[in-house]
Chain A
Amino acid sequence: MTARERETREGVSPGPRHGPAPSGGGPAHDHGVRPGAAAPEAAAPRDGTAGDGTAGDGTAGDGTAGDGTAGDGAPPPGGEGARARRARRIRALPLRAGGLRVRLVAGFVIVALLSSMAASLIAYNIIRDAILKRTQDAVIADFRSRAARHIPGSAPVPADWWGRPVAPGASELTRRLAAAFGGPGRAAVATELTRGQKPLPPHYARLGVPVPDGLLKAMESKTAAQRIVYRGKPYLLVGTMVPMMNQVSVEPVPGVITFRLQGDANEVPEALSVVVAVDLRSDARELAGLERALLIANGATLAIALGLALVAARGVLVPVRRLGRAARELGEGALDTRVEVRGRDELAQLATTFNRTAATLEANIGELRAMEAASRRFVADVSHELRTPLTAMTALTDVLSGDDPGPEADRDKAARMVADGIRRLQSLVGHLIEISRYDANTATLVLDDVNVAGALRTSLSVRGWEDGVRLEVPEDLMARLDPRRFDVIVANLVGNALRHGAPPIVVRVRPEARGGRPGFTLTVLDHGPGIPDDLLPLVFDRFVKRDPARAETEGSGLGLSLTRAHAELHGGHVTAENSGLCGAMFTLWLPREQPGCDD
């Protein structure tokens, strides 16, 4: 557990990672609305105790409160307590204004309700229009049929049953017409119109409902109808004005004899008008029932939509929260965090992507850490390697430059040892430079066509190693190599064998193709004790030495490492093994051609 993690868990002073963590994990856009939440120092301790204060559930809380609980000394991710708490947090799924859940639910419900209401409105309108049309058509047809049966072609001067003159509209005829047109749920008023009178509202005062001027105007030329609402009740008014002929035909057949009916020119009605008011209460009741039914249906739709929306939101939010929490944990350094992939939807893909990303991150960071450690170790090793000869040389130069230089032989020996030390330092520095080239990826091959046998002999003879080494090499084997690096490889492998193994040392070369590429294998076999088993996998690593205590006599510890680097630069490789009883065996394989470098 790093210091940073400890800080986060204990919640003492949120480290730099704790502040951004909620914004990366939970839906952080809400936090801005709460006062004080913007200050990360204040947020963590308060959230841990008081919850978030939005939903009012202190136990579950939101993402921030969750951080608080995680900070209350909860065991690291994966502990039973944390898991239970997490499960509870997921179950609670607090409601927050502007939160994804509210938006999802609201959107779902609004869409469902809108569709339902739109359908209801359309249906209601269609049904209402049908109901009203049915009633109106029936009323109008009935009105016309009654008019045809009851309105005479000529009307007497307004008079009562006795024939005594009365005011227009109060006559026996209008009384009879009113009765003929009236009925349950409908009222009728008829009136005579004399001397060019137009129908006027006062004529129909007995109807009980006001007759609009527009209807009276329309009545003058046509049968007219109008729907009105009077004192909250709907009525259908149908009116007509029938002109009076004041003529009579007494012979119905051809040669019609038409007589003019006599009467007082000023009093004989010129027209009869009838207005019927039909109560539409039953239709209104029917429609009210329909409204109630539709309201109930819409309410049911709302409830169902709400339920479905909550389920759907949960299906989306639970994985989102799980992902968010995993991301937060990942951000807090738990690189092994993975999420469970459920289903095959986009969220499952997201979870898969997250897992892959986390795995890559974990691998990369592990690699980086390993490299960092290796680099640290390398620096320490280099310092150590440099210090050892320097210490020895300092002591020797003290002897040489002292007041009492001692005998000549001692001085010579000291000077030789100093020169050795300088050479070793030079070699070490040379190796370091070479290695740093590899580390910086600036190492390049300088290729040439090389006779392998000749190159080997040259390498050995330059170092004076021909005597201790048995060479088994085909004379005519040619390869395209970097001669300098090949020389270094040979020197390192053979020198290593000479230093650690025992003679006879056998260097064997034979052509061998690997992976379809022509090449050759160079084997260096000694008859020493072999490589210790614990060193065998590390033998090509830097500063790996057989016996660190004998640093003085050892090489730099970089030779084999460089050998491998050179081999790999050529496209080949080198392996080490213990060859049964014989000792250590190093096997180098190099290709004979370098791709794309045939210059």
Chain B
Amino acid sequence: MRRLRTLPAVLALAAAAACGISPTGPWTAGEQLVGSGRQAVNQIYFLKDGELHPVLRAGLDPGRVMVIGQLLQGPSEDELRDGVTTQVSLPHYGPVTWDHAGEVMTLRIWDDRLLRLSRPALAQLACTATAVPGVSRLEIQGSTGKPTAYTCEDFKDLAPRGKRAGSGATPRPEGARLPGAGTAPEQGTAPGDGLP
């Protein structure tokens, strides 16, 4: 008789345990994935030995205005060790904003004291902005007055003279438009598929 009493209890327990969705432990749902999504590559211009020096940064697509932010962040520690410098010393918040519309990328500097940019800094800004596909000029807008337009062409004299040897040298990737390089491909993005 005791067996008869325990049997329904066991059954009820089994039924209760069996009903509903129970939690599980973790299980493997496939191998580790590799990033194979669309890869955007940004070309940022710094200075080296008094000349413009383009470096590549991973970017977003779409994410054209990101290049200005990446320029304002300055070179990485490795690049600094290689002698890569920047003369653009603008804060990337507060009185400095930037935007993009059509062929024009606009940099607004609301503090006139920050507006006094050196010629290499202007070259960096102009070349970085126009390296973005579809952007033909950079307009710098002060707190008053009309904006001043720049293109990379204006700074041909600072363009790097051919390929340089040494570590940290940044080869010119296809699709990146360099000063004096003529027409550039439409996209500033490198094909990201099939990355090793």
Q: Which residues of A contact B (CB under 8 A)?
A: 110, 114, 117, 121, 124-125, 128, 132, 140, 143-144, 147-157, 159-165, 172-173, 176, 212, 214-215, 217-218, 221-229, 234, 238, 240-252, 256-268, 272, 280, 283-284, 287, 291
Contacts and interface: CB of A to CB of B under 8 A. Distances in A.
B78 A226 contact: no
A159 B28 CA distance: 31
Output the residue of A114, A153, A241, A245 with the most chain B CB within 10 A.
Answer: A153
Contacts of A155: 35, 58
Output the residue of A152, A215, A280 with the most chain B CB within 10 A.
Answer: A152
A248 B29 contact: no
B49 interface: no
Contact of B29 (A161, A222, A263, A287): A222
A245 B36 CA distance: 10
8 contacts: A114-B11, A132-B21, A148-B36, A152-B58, A157-B57, A226-B23, A248-B173, A259-B171
B60 A265 contact: no
Given A212-B26, A259-B171, A162 B55 contact: no
Contacts of A128: 21
A256 B98 CA distance: 36
Contact of B18 (A121, A225, A267): A121
A5 B170 CA distance: 127
Nearest to B40: A152
A156 B37 contact: no
A132 B24 CA distance: 12
A124 to B, nearest CB: 6
A110 B4 CA distance: 9
B37 to A, nearest CB: 5
Nearest to A246: B58
Contacts of A243: 32, 34-35
Given A159-B70, A262-B170, A152 B192 contact: yes
The 6 closest A-B pairs by CB, nearest first: A163-B69, A163-B66, A153-B35, A234-B21, A154-B58, A153-B195
Given A148-B36, A172-B63, A121 B15 contact: yes
Contacts of A157: 57, 70, 73
Contacts of A260: 56
Contacts of B182: none
B21 A224 contact: no
Contacts of B25: 214, 226
Contacts of B52: none
Nearest to B194: A252
Contact of A247 (B7, B32, B175, B196): B196
B144 interface: no
Nearest to B67: A163
Interface string B77-121: 111000000000000110001100000000000000000000000
A251 B65 CA distance: 25
B56 A252 contact: no
B22 interface: yes
B26 A225 contact: yes
Interface string B179-196: 000000000001111111
Nearest to B24: A227
Contacts of A246: 58
Contacts of B67: 163
Contacts of A264: 73, 76-77
Contacts of A229: 21-23
Given A153-B195, A262-B76, A242 B33 contact: yes
Contacts of B56: 248, 259-262
Contacts of A218: 26-28
Interface in B2-46: 4, 7, 11, 14-15, 18-42
Contact of A162 (B26, B40, B65, B191): B65
Contacts of B75: 262
Contact of B35 (A125, A163, A244, A257): A244
Contacts of A240: 32-33
Given A221-B32, A223-B29, A248-B56, A150 B70 contact: no
Contact of B192 (A125, A132, A248): A248
B59 interface: yes
Given A163-B69, A248-B41, A259-B173, A215 B63 contact: no
B71 to A, nearest CB: 8
Contacts of B31: 222-223
A218 B38 CA distance: 26
B18 A156 contact: no
B21 A263 contact: no
Given A161-B65, A259-B173, A223 B30 contact: yes
A160 B60 CA distance: 10
Contact of B76 (A151, A241, A265, A284): A265
Contact of B190 (A214, A223, A249, A283): A249
Contacts of A173: 60
Contacts of B196: 245, 247, 249, 256, 258
